[in-house]
Amino acid sequence: MVKISPLSLYIINRVVYRLYVLGILQSKFSLILDKRDTYVNNVKNENMDAVFNPIDFPSIASALDWEIHDLLPPDNSPYSDGTLVDKVVFSLNNPSDAEEVIVGMKDIGYFKKEKSLNDIFEYLYLTENMSEKRRVIKEILEKLVSNNILKLKNGKYLA
């Protein structure tokens, strides 16, 4: 695992989070940015020191239907003290990250219409061989239903 600046890691994780929420493939997003289809995958790769280029921030924000400030940490955050951190990227394997994505999907209106578990897996591009991510998403959905954040009606989730 490589080390990068906390600011770079923050921005990578914000972008990855938003891609999940909007249901956009990394390769498609790379092409939207007029980059090679592996661009976002390389930035996301924890074994590569690739980061998003600040010159691309306006394009990235626009493509995510955000403003540039949505990519950046809150004011007075300690992201520029010169230290380096392990590049640990946002992942649906991590329950707290997965919960943030599902809540983000709810916030953009994804669950206004009933969605089956398979609908959700397809939206997140979780193929059958991604069993760990699927398991985490299913557990998070169950948690959100038990906490009355989502409802389960006839095997389908809705807000």
DSSP 94-120: SHHHHHHHHHHHHHTTGGGS-B-HHHH
108/66 same-domain check: no
128/62 same-domain check: no
8/77 same-domain check: yes
Segments in the chain below pLDDT 70: 79-81
Alpha carbon 76 to its chain centroid, in Å, reads: 24
Residues 6+ away with beta carbon under 8 Å from 86: 1, 2, 3, 46
100/134 same-domain check: yes
User: pTM of the predicted model, to two decimals?
Assistant: 0.89
Domain boundary among 33, 59, 86: 86
17/65 same-domain check: yes
> Which tokens sit at 22?
């909007």
Q: Which domain holds residue 101?
A: 95-158
Residues 6+ away with beta carbon under 8 Å from 58: 68
* Domain CATH number, residue 62: 1.10.260.40
Q: What is the pLDDT of residues 50-93, one digit of tens each?
A: 999 999 999 999 999 999 999 998 877 776 667 889 999 999 99
